[in-house]
Amino acid sequence: FAPFDLPSGRRAGVVDVPGHERFIKHMLAGVGGFDLVLLVVAADEGAMPQTREHVDILDLSGVRNGLIVLNKADLVEEDWLELVKDDVRDVVQGTFLEKAPIYSVSAVTREGVPELLQAIDKATDAVIERESGGPFRLPVDRVFSIPGFGTVITGTLISGTVHPGEQAMVYPRELETRIRQIEVHDTKVEEASAGQRVALNLAGLGVDEVERGAVIATPGSLAPATAIDARLLVLGHSEGPVEHRQRLRLHTGTAEILGRVYLLESEEINPGESGLVQFRLEQEVAVRRGDRFVIRTYSPATTIGGGMVLEPVASKHKRFDPKVLTELRQKEKGAPEDLVAHALEAVGMAPRTAAELTKTAGLSMEETQTAVSKLVAAGKATSFTVEGNVYYLDVLTFKQTLDRVNTALTDYHQKYPLRQGAPLEEVRARFFPKVSSRFVLPLLSLQVADALVCEGDRIRLSNHTVRFSPEQEAAAEALLKALTAQPFSPPAASDIISKSKLKVDGKELVASLLDSGRLVQVADDIIFARSAFEEAKKRVITFIKENGSLTVGELRDLLNTSRRYALPLLEYLDAKRITRRVGDKRILGPAGNIAE
């Protein structure tokens, strides 16, 4: 595993998998994270038996982008190289690599390498971005311990985004943990997104509690099972059919599980054919509908087929049951609620109307409205209304985001105990970056048990209250008294606190008094007591109503102050739309006309 910087500046992650047939199971553990494949064949040896199996596995796993590379081109003659190309073309015929370009290179002489790099860079344009919305999921391929940090796991994040401090669960054992730290290519990060190679430092778990094949995911997003329903395709060149109750090796994600296949609609599945099946496994697995899998014979281990999961937590079925087969075919097609649920997951915290979901899911409006109603009733989606339009969200994604907001606010209150709350806009930008500001308050109103409180432009946990110590209260009173004594020419707050000789954090004290509204800051270095500001505002409004307008000089005289205070005060009133500047005069603004 290593980072790889392309000519365009893009950064890719390289997973080098062993080609030898004895190590194919290691290749199977990594294939789920591939976006682009380089099929490397030694020009002096040509395609090997395991080359065919590698291509089969990639094809069955749903990989759709790739290039073919003939290495060691410097060791062979041109005629031999052409024969090897023909041989490789035969191997990939009928697969996703059938029309892939072939590049001849030499790692020693560097012949063909620049052209290959450009081709890789261009090929990444066709890579479909993985879903960064919805629950995160990471199949584990390595587990180890680092002194001073504890258990670390690595893998490819196949969906969602993940952040330090998030709660997570290890499936299928359903062990709770918390993500302490995240690294991407040996660099500490505050967020990892789908498609990236990731290392997670897990809290509260030993290395013996997590193993290769496990899945780290959002709590509640998966369910362990020993039976899964699927569509199974048997490879056309397989040596024989797959038989009912045949013992097999099932590979999905990074897991390898032994089990038996129960054929639901036939006595056997011949090479080149497919059928509906149920796998009954000897160990639990945690998968999702639509996940790809590969099957290999029990012994000797040879790849014979693969397919797609249709039901990740299945009950045992009777064979040849028309009702069961109809239901599975509907799941294969995709029930309307499944399509809508998938569309909601994909957009994460970006709310969608039924009309928007109709386009994404490819359904009629009637089908979409019925589907979202079922999802809301089942607790899988939630809805809210803004400006007369009903919007929908995936519940699990919403709860996951709220948990992150709660954690962030807990940290904020610990760091700034005297502040009423965190700036609402900062919370929106951090946790709802793709959500319009008009949606944030309605979204937060959906929270459970009113854990969050929005007050003006601040947000806090409902159990947070500001409590001054006796010394802080004394400093606050001294500050307010000094500001009130010179209401329209207030001294600097920092100077007042310094002269009080009280050992308090002046900056935090002022911030708290501003939050609570006891002070009003009209400029970086000018703060008024609330009573003085309200009196000044009242005089401004009255003067303009009586005289039609007000200049800076007139306000200076009206308040018996100086231009240093009069100008910032008027600019602040302009910003609040209480006044409006016309030339060098002020008239009443919209807010001034309705103010008392």
pLDDT digits (tens, 9 = 90+) for 530-570: 999 999 999 999 999 999 999 999 999 999 999 999 999 99
Q: Which amino acid is at 140?
A: V
Write down the pLDDT at residue 445.
80
Find the helix packing angle between 552-559 and 563-575, rounded to 10°. Answer: 110
* Spans of all domains in the chain: 2-126, 137-217, 225-333, 334-467, 470-594
pLDDT, residue 176, reads: 95
pLDDT, position 15: 80
pLDDT given at position 338 = 87
Which residue has 């006309």 as its token pair? 593
Looking at every residue in the chain, the average pLDDT score rounds to 90
Element (H, E) at 87: helix 78-92
Query: Within 13 A of 42's CA, how many CA atoms are on the CB side?
Result: 7
pLDDT higher than 90, residue 121: yes
* Residue 62, pLDDT score: 87
Query: Using alpha carbons only, how large is the chain's radius of gyration in Å?
Result: 32
Cα–Cα distance for residue pair 317/99, rounded to 1 Å: 41
**Contact yes or no for 74/109 (Cβ under 8 A):** yes
pLDDT at 25 exceeding the cut of 80: no
Q: Is residue 397 within 8 Å of 133, Cβ to Cβ?
A: yes
Alpha-carbon distance of 277 to 264, in angstroms, equals: 5
What does the pLDDT read at residue 367?
87
CATH fold of 470-594, please? Arc Repressor Mutant, subunit A (1.10.10)
Q: Check residue 586 and give its pLDDT.
A: 95
CATH class assigned to 334-467: mainly alpha
**At a CB cut-off of 8 Å and minimum separation 6, what does 450 contact?**
462
In this structure, what DSSP letter does residue 184 have? E
Q: Given pLDDT bands bounded at 50, 70 and 90, which one contains residue 145?
A: very high
Q: CATH 3.10.129.10: does it fit domain 225-333?
A: no
CATH architecture of the region 137-217: Beta Barrel (2.40)
pTM reported for the whole predicted model: 0.70
Domains 225-333 and 334-467 share a fold: no
pLDDT in tens, 463-502: 998 889 888 888 889 889 999 999 999 998 888 877 777 7
> CA-CA distances (angstroms) from residue 320 to 59, 267, 336, 568?
29, 10, 25, 82
Is 596's pLDDT higher than 60? no
* Cα separation, 168 vs 170, whole angstroms: 7
Alpha carbon distance 388, 462 (integer Å)? 29
Domain 2-126 superfamily per CATH: P-loop containing nucleotide triphosphate hydrolases (3.40.50.300)
For residues 528-543, b (16+ Cβ closer than 10 Å) or e, as one string?
bbbebbeebbeebbeb
Element (H, E) at 382: strand 381-386
| CA distance linking residue 417 with residue 414, whole number of Å | 6
Contact criterion met (CB below 8 Å) for 118 and 6: no
Q: What is the number of helices (H) and of strands (E) in the chain?
A: 18, 31
